[in-house]
């Protein structure tokens, strides 16, 4: 499968790549954290964001905001936050025995943490307003609807990036302190930073991922009733 596409800034190229068959885009989507430091044309980022805006939101509120970070100083401030939490989290990770897959992910996150300022584009995906007051509990249904109004668009952004041939990865760790993240990005209190999509022309590759068999996570009518448990994977 042709999963490495050369960097481009030709918009006709970009449109042709965005015609990738849907199933293929999904099957070959994966976190590509290792990217080249070369710039990505703004128009490509905007085109991917345009497709992100086609995703659904609760009550069609479209209460999203996207901060495209290219300024090295802003990236460095977010990198410092990422390093702070990674020192703890990655350190804990080293203490537990992990399988090969997890070790591979940790190594690639480690690369990302180290090279964060060199990643050409960070898209900070935010939600405006919303029902969530920090540290005041909400019923889960409210929180779910809230975040359910940004992550479908984040997934569109990642799928669009994959089709165009951009390396993309979804992270939240640099935002562990909302207060600091708000200060770095000059976000008003009414705007919550939810996650970051990193973008750049890949050093890594797209391609198939290991997944648990579908019959183990799909139930019929009631939890625990799993008629497709022994189904062969498609």
Q: Which of residues 174-213 bind its own copies (CB under 8 A)?
A: 175-178, 185-188, 191-192, 194-195, 209, 211-212
On whether the CB atoms of residues 172 and 107 are closer than 8 A, the answer is no
If one asks whether residue 78 binds its own copies (CB under 8 A), the answer comes out as no
Least distance in Å: CB of 131 to its own copies? 12
Contact indicator for 127, 194 with CB cutoff of 8 Å: yes
Q: Of the candidates 55, 84, 118, 203, which one interacts with its own copies according to CB under 8 A?
A: 55
Determine the Cα–Cα distance for residues 168 and 208; give it in Å rounded to an integer. 15
Residue selected from 91, 97, 100, 139 as contacting its own copies according to rule CB under 8 A? 139
User: What is d(CA 205, CA 42) in angstroms, rounded to the nearest whole number?
Assistant: 22
Candidate segments 2-10, 33-41, 60-68, 112-120, binder of its own copies by CB under 8 A: 60-68
Q: Using the rule CB under 8 A, which residue among 1, 53, 88, 103 binds its own copies?
A: 53
Does 113 participate in binding its own copies (rule CB under 8 A)? no
In whole angstroms, how close is the CB of 199 to its own copies at the nearest point?
Answer: 14
**Residue 77 and residue 69: Cα distance in Å, rounded?**
11
User: Residue 82: which residues within 8 A CB-CB, separation 6 or more?
Assistant: 113, 116, 171, 173, 174
Binding piece for its own copies, criterion CB under 8 A, among 1-9, 33-41, 145-153, 198-206: 145-153
How far is it, in rounded angstroms, from Cα 128 to Cα 198?
21
- Which window, 2-10, 33-41, 44-52, 112-120, contacts its own copies (CB under 8 A)? 44-52
H/E stretch holding 192 = strand 191-200
* Contact between 51 and its own copies per CB under 8 A: yes
- The answer to the question of residue 103 lying near its own copies (CB under 8 A) is no
Helix (H, G, I), strand (E, B) or coil at 120: coil
Q: Nearest CA to 16 among 35, 40, 44?
A: 44
d(CA 69, CA 82): 15
172 contributes a contact to its own copies by CB under 8 A: yes
Sites for its own copies among residues 148-167 (CB under 8 A): 148, 150-152, 154-156, 158-160, 163
Distance of closest approach, residue 167 Cβ to its own copies, in angstroms = 13
Determine which residue in the list 24, 37, 39, 114 makes contact with its own copies, applying CB under 8 A.
Answer: 24
Inter-residue contact 32 to 205 (CB < 8 Å): yes
In the structure encoding, which two tokens stand for residue 15, read together? Answer: 């449109």
Interface with its own copies includes 91 (CB under 8 A)?
no
Alpha carbons 32 and 167: distance in angstroms, whole number? 5
Nearer to its own copies, 38 or 54 (CB): 54
């Amino acid at each position: 499968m042709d999963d490495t596409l050369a960097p481009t800034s030709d918009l006709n190229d970009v449109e042709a790549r965005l015609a990738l068959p849907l199933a293929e885009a999904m099957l070959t989507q994966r976190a590509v954290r290792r990217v080249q430091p070369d710039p990505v044309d703004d128009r490509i980022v905007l085109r991917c964001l345009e497709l992100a805006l086609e995703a659904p939101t609760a009550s069609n509120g479209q209460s999203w905001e996207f901060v495209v970070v290219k300024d090295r100083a802003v990236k460095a401030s977010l990198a410092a936050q990422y390093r702070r939490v990674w020192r703890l989290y990655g350190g804990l990770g080293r203490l537990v025995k992990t399988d090969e897959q997890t070790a591979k992910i940790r190594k690639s996150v480690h690369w990302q943490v180290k090279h964060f300022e060199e990643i050409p584009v960070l898209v900070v995906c935010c939600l405006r307003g919303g029902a969530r007051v920090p540290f005041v509990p909400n019923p889960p249904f409210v929180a779910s609807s809230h975040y359910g109004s940004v992550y479908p668009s984040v997934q569109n952004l990642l799928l669009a990036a994959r089709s165009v041939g951009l390396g993309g990865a979804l992270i939240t760790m640099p935002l562990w302190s909302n207060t600091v993240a708000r200060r770095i990005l000059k976000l008003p209190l009414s705007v919550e930073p939810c996650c970051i999509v990193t973008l750049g022309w890949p050093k890594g590759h797209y391609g198939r991922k290991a997944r648990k068999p579908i019959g183990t996570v799909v139930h019929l009518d009631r939890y625990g009733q799993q008629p497709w448990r022994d189904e062969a994977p498609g």
